[in-house]
Structure 1
Amino acid sequence: MYRFLLTPRWWGINIFVLLAIPVCVFMGSWQLSRFEDRVQDHRSASEHSEANEKAAAEPLASLLPVSTQTSGKRATATGHYDKQLLVPDRDLDGRTGFYVVTLLKVDATGKALPVVRGWLPGAASAAKAPAPPKGDVTVTGALQSSESPGSDGVPATAGGLPSGQVGMISAASLVNLVPYDVYDAWVTLDEADARMTPVPASTPQGSGLDLKAFQNLGYTGEWFVFAGFVLFMWFRLVRREAEALRDAELGIAPQEEG
């Protein structure tokens, strides 16, 4: 009864099924491995963050350029504060406020290091932001890489901010506001100045269980569903073909649908 499986038409169907199922299983397994890699990266980032909090601060120069290995490490730098800027629309503990960023001109190089001195609630206002300390200071805090729009909750500010405000903390956006070079990194202080709230260090991009990680998990399920669907349809077509042949042998006319 099942000799029809050896006909040219069914050879084509069989070959398609034999190729489609392994491809679906392979793609599902690959997506699952991507999700597992992201889970492992998340665990490593958490362990890395805990280790950084306990480790002694290192000189800024020894941690540059910022990488996934140095991001979050405690850095120390000495210099004097210069221009102060505000970064609006930053959330902390469920409230919206703004960062107070002051450029520290590092004595050894003359380049400026953006220092997040703290966070304040409400709309960004220069009157609310405490003035930076005078004279030489030594800062200690978590080293971070330059921000990019849309990453780690950074708003993609299109521009048009008032004078004294900046949309993100990056050398590309700050270099146009000051007449000196700016490090492609920034530091958030361990202890915020004055009455401000300290800003916690963020994890390196791509190391957390973000939406992309769960998309990988969703794609895993989809590929395995596709494999099951292909197998289900093959069995259904085989059964219908066998039933049609049996009815033909018994002289039973096929019933018209509708």
Structure 2
Amino acid sequence: MYRFLLSPRWLGALALTLVASAVMVLLGNWQLDRYRARTEVNERIDAGQRMAPAPLGDALRAPTGGAGTVGPAPAEDKVWTRITATGRYDPTNTVLVRGRTVDSRVGFEVLTPLVLPDGSALLVDRGWIPPAPGGATAQPSVPAVPTGDVTVSGRVHESESGGGAVDRRDGRLETRRVGMPRLARELPYPVYGGYLLLDAQTPAADPVFTAVPVGHTNNWQNFGYVVQWWLFAGMALFGYGWVARREARRAAGLGATGAPLDRAAEPTPSPSV
């Protein structure tokens, strides 16, 4: 009854179905890996919010090069770790990161180097401020930094991809992305390979700054894709089996319920005259 499945046409259909199902299973596995990776990121974000600040050296390795060089990037398991450091702000090399959105408003994030006792610097994201009147790209008035030693605590952020150009406009460094290697080349000291999202500061930070929120990754979207691709794979296999079963029943003269078709009920052709 199913010998027709050995015909070239049906063997070709089976091969195509199996290949398509295998590809969809692999796509589901890929999305499952992304779901697990994003879940780990969310867990590190939550852990970083609860933990007491650790020393800077526990999460970031110090740069070993000269001026304009960047240190090693933070290890994956150290991103979002909460750390603390003490040094002096260098406002002359403040970096404005344009096109940043907080609470649906576009403005600037302000990164200021914190120069440490050994002469290296950690870029500190002091927070978000709105642009000056005149448009989203109008440079804001940046509050002054505290004088003397400053102690900061916050979460480690890795260098952003697609660093883009670093411009100097009106005497200030300006960029679209926080790419540490590019920024380091514009600064007169070695710079750590990650930067710090400020949570707290002593002396206190200016209240004009809005803390940059840390958003969780949408890991459930990836989980939905996992279910979607695996369902598609199952539907492809089920569809092949259903069509094959229907063809077998038709060839055997069986109806949809398995009962023989009533050939007698079919009209008898009229004989030719």
Q: TM-score, normalised by structure 1?
A: 0.72
Secondary structure in structure 2 of the residue aligned to 1:164? strand
1:234 is aligned, of 244, 248, 251, to 244
Equivalent residue, structure 2, for 1:76 = 84
Equivalent residue, structure 2, for 1:143 = 156
Secondary structure in structure 1 of the residue aligned to 2:77? coil
Aligned alpha-carbon RMSD (Å): 3.6
**1:147-169 Cα deviation digits (max 9, x unpaired):** 113xxxxxx85777845211111
**1:67-88 Cα deviation digits (max 9, x unpaired):** 3321111111222222101101
Please give the alpha-carbon distance, in whole angstroms, between the structure 1 residues aligned to 2:248 and 2:164: 58
Secondary structure in structure 2 of the residue aligned to 1:191? strand
Equivalent residue, structure 2, for 1:118 = 127
Secondary structure in structure 1 of the residue aligned to 2:153? strand
Equivalent residue, structure 1, for 2:188 = 179
Equivalent residue, structure 2, for 1:86 = 96
Kindly indicate whether the alpha-carbon contact (under 8 Å) linking 1:87 and 1:124 is maintained by their aligned counterparts in 2: no
Give 1:55 shift. 1.4
Kindly tell me: are residues 220 and 159 of structure 1, through their superposed partners in 2, closer, same or farther at Cα, counting changes over 3 Å? farther
Equivalent residue, structure 2, for 1:153 = none
Give 1:198 shift. 1.1
Structure 2, unaligned runs of 5 or more? 61-72, 254-259, 268-273
Kindly indicate whether the alpha-carbon contact (under 8 Å) linking 1:144 and 1:202 is maintained by their aligned counterparts in 2: no
**Could you tell which deviates more after superposition, 34-43 or 173-182?**
34-43
Kindly indicate whether the alpha-carbon contact (under 8 Å) linking 1:35 and 1:217 is maintained by their aligned counterparts in 2: no
Equivalent residue, structure 2, for 1:60 = 56
Kindly indicate whether the alpha-carbon contact (under 8 Å) linking 1:81 and 1:105 is maintained by their aligned counterparts in 2: yes
Please give the alpha-carbon distance, in whole angstroms, between the structure 1 residues aligned to 2:199 and 2:220: 26
Kindly tell me: are residues 158 and 220 of structure 1, through their superposed partners in 2, closer, same or farther at Cα, counting changes over 3 Å? farther
Q: Which amino acid aligns with 2:161?
A: S
Q: Does 1:100 pair with 2:97? A: no
Kindly indicate whether the alpha-carbon contact (under 8 Å) linking 1:21 and 1:231 is maintained by their aligned counterparts in 2: no
Give 1:210 shift. 7.2
Secondary structure in structure 2 of the residue aligned to 1:183? coil
**1:97-129 Cα deviation digits (max 9, x unpaired):** 210111112223x22211100101243554421
Equivalent residue, structure 2, for 1:152 = none
Within a 5 Å distance, the mapping from 1:1-258 to structure 2 comes to: 2=1, 5-6=2-3, 10-12=6-8, 28-64=24-60, 65-82=73-90, 83-108=93-118, 110-122=119-131, 123-149=136-162, 162=169, 164-191=173-200, 193-194=205-206, 195-201=208-214, 208-209=218-219, 214-242=224-252
Q: Which amino acid aligns with 2:127?
A: G
Please give the alpha-carbon distance, in whole angstroms, between the structure 2 residues aligned to 1:21 and 1:222: 11
Please give the alpha-carbon distance, in whole angstroms, between the structure 2 residues aligned to 1:120 and 1:217: 41
Q: Which amino acid aligns with 1:101?
A: L
Please give the alpha-carbon distance, in whole angstroms, between the structure 2 residues aligned to 1:173 and 1:202: 25
- Larger gyration radius, structure 1 or structure 2: 2
Aligned length: 234
Please give the alpha-carbon distance, in whole angstroms, between the structure 1 residues aligned to 2:179 and 2:239: 49
Q: Which amino acid aligns with 2:248?
A: V
Kindly indicate whether the alpha-carbon contact (under 8 Å) linking 1:146 and 1:169 is maintained by their aligned counterparts in 2: yes
Kindly tell me: are residues 124 and 164 of structure 1, through their superposed partners in 2, closer, same or farther at Cα, counting changes over 3 Å? farther
Identical aligned pairs, as a percentage?
Answer: 27
Please give the alpha-carbon distance, in whole angstroms, between the structure 2 residues aligned to 1:161 and 1:84: 11
Kindly indicate whether the alpha-carbon contact (under 8 Å) linking 1:144 and 1:201 is maintained by their aligned counterparts in 2: no
